[in-house]
């Protein structure tokens, strides 16, 4: 096994707690919440908002495992490094690293097509041309530098969050809401109600996928032992509060029969708003999807760089020019694959499998932490969680993984 020395890193440690938190929120609070509220309402009815809370509790277990592992091994290709240390098998590290990179590339491809579809509605340009343009522009930003690219992603994330806060503010100000009253969103102690909540929480879980991307920029984080756990927990808490507020607002304002069949549920809050507000919110939705392309691109390129830097992939992929201090060759490869996927493969089926790839990785990462915790810990200072956390992380992730095949 190749040892990991954080002092040998070539990437620039530039990310602070606010920047890393905004990076995490940029992945987590993205297209998911903009489309998932309707689907969760279709399953859980008036109790859909609670399904996001259940999902957050499940996700928090694996998030805490990531917080410890990312401070033990603050390097790129985080999951690969964790699995390599836990299982002591190089092939497993390569498999997990490539799975994580694949999930990022597939997700970015699907999101790029979505962004192009929104843009097509506004501009009338052909979707293939718009898709390639989105990918290339985001690729140039990713090549520019980690501080610059994450700063741009952070600005977009703030716009994205402002859009959700606007939904909540506008919805709460509507005089005659057509949905459920707040009191009817609290479930009774009945099996059927909770069965619906737990079924919807499997869907809501996918709105939280993204926090693990923070582990893959760990090599570019200032003071990772203090910064990473704070940023991961802040991301989850803020995302949960936003999801709860947004879903409750939509359930309050929009009739359930309309909401449960809509692919753009948040836009329904503005159905009686002036045209300028409708168009403004559409622009925010486009920005939200474009942000997902940039952040997944950054993540996938860092995983490939990290694998190459530890001799698991060709060394050329670990080249980092001093001018940008970003993995240029790895980023160009990621951009090329995304362009190819968007133009040649129906991305829907692949995108559905992205979440299952992530859950499979979660299981292996939690098992790795259990194995590491059963060995003597010679590390200096790092964040620690009780061993019950990764054990519960394995169980919950495995249950969610299996449910996807039912």
* Phi, psi for 111 (deg, rounded to 5): -65, -35
What structural domains and CATH numbers belong to the chain?
13-401 (1.20.1740.10)
Mean pLDDT of 348-373: 81
pLDDT per residue over 219-237, tens digit each? 777 777 788 888 988 998 9
* 179 or 167, higher pLDDT: 167
pLDDT of residue 12: 67
pLDDT over threshold 60, residue 382: yes
pLDDT of residue 403: 63
Rounded to whole angstroms, the Cα distance separating 21 from 103 reads 21
Reported confidence tier of residue 250, pLDDT bands at 50, 70, 90: confident
Mean pLDDT of 313-325: 81
Mean pLDDT of 47-53: 87
Contact between 297 and 335 (Cβ < 8 Å): yes
Reported confidence tier of residue 100, pLDDT bands at 50, 70, 90: confident
Other beta carbons within 10 angstroms of residue 388's beta carbon come to: 10
Alpha-carbon distance values, 215 to 110, 241, 267, 387 (Å): 22, 22, 33, 20
Return mean pLDDT, the chain.
81
pLDDT over threshold 70, residue 7: no
225: closest CA among 70, 378, 379? 70
pLDDT of residue 295: 81
Rounded to whole angstroms, the Cα distance separating 335 from 333 reads 5
Mean pLDDT of 104-110: 82
pLDDT of residue 73: 84
pLDDT per residue over 162-178, tens digit each? 888 998 998 888 877 77
pLDDT of residue 336: 93
pTM of the model: 0.77
pLDDT over threshold 50, residue 343: yes
Kindly calculate the radius of gyration of the chain based on its CA atoms and give it in whole angstroms.
21
pLDDT of residue 262: 65
pLDDT over threshold 50, residue 338: yes
* 149 or 159, higher pLDDT: 159
Contact between 206 and 26 (Cβ < 8 Å): no
Structure tokens that stand for 367 in this block: 């098992």
Q: Is 39 left (phi over 0), alpha (psi -120 to 50) or beta?
A: alpha
pLDDT of residue 254: 81
Q: What is the percent of the chain with per-residue pLDDT over 70, rounded to a whole number?
A: 88
Mean pLDDT of 294-308: 85
Q: What is the percent of the chain with per-residue pLDDT over 90, rounded to a whole number?
A: 10
* 348 or 176, higher pLDDT: 176
Token match 């940023």: residue? 231
């Amino acid at each position: 096994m190749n040892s990991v020395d954080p002092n040998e890193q070539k990437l620039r440690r530039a990310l602070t707690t606010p920047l890393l938190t905004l990076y995490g929120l940029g992945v987590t609070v993205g297209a998911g919440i903009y489309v998932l509220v309707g689907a969760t309402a279709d399953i859980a009815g008036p109790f859909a908002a609670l399904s996001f809370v259940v999902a957050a509790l499940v996700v928090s277990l694996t998030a805490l495992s990531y917080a410890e592992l990312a401070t033990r091994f603050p390097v790129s290709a985080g999951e690969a490094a964790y699995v390599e240390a836990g299982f002591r098998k190089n092939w497993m590290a390569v498999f997990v690293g490539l799975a994580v990179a694949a999930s990022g590339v597939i997700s970015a491809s699907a999101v790029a097509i979505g962004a192009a579809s929104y843009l097509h509605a506004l501009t009338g340009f052909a979707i293939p041309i718009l898709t390639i343009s989105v990918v290339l522009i985001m690729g140039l930003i990713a090549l520019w530098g980690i501080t610059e690219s994450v700063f741009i992603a952070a600005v977009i994330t703030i716009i994205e969050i402002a859009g959700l806060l606007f939904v909540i503010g506008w919805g709460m100000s509507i005089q005659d809401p057509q949905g459920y009253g707040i009191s009817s969103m609290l479930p009774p102690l009945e099996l059927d109600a909770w069965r619906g909540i737990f079924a919807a929480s499997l869907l809501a879980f996918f709105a939280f996928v993204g926090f693990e991307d923070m582990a893959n920029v760990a090599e570019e984080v200032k003071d990772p032992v203090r910064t990473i756990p704070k940023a991961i927990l802040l991301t989850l808490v803020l995302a949960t509060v936003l999801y709860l507020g947004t879903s409750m607002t939509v359930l309050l304002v929009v009739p359930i029969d309309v909401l449960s069949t809509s692919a753009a549920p948040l836009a329904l809050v503005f159905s009686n708003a002036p045209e300028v507000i409708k168009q403004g919110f559409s622009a925010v939705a486009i920005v939200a999807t474009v942000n997902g392309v940039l952040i997944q691109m950054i993540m996938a390129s860092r995983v490939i760089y990290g694998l190459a830097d530890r001799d698991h992939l060709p060394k050329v992929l670990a080249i980092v020019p001093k001018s940008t201090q970003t993995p240029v060759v790895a980023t160009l490869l990621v951009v090329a694959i995304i362009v190819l996927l968007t133009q040649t493969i129906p991305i829907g089926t692949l995108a559905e499998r992205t979440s299952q790839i992530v859950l499979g990785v979660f299981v292996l990462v939690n098992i790795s932490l259990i194995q590491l915790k059963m060995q003597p810990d010679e590390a200096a200072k790092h964040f620690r969680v009780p061993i019950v956390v990764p054990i519960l992380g394995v169980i919950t992730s495995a249950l969610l993984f299996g449910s996807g095949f039912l």
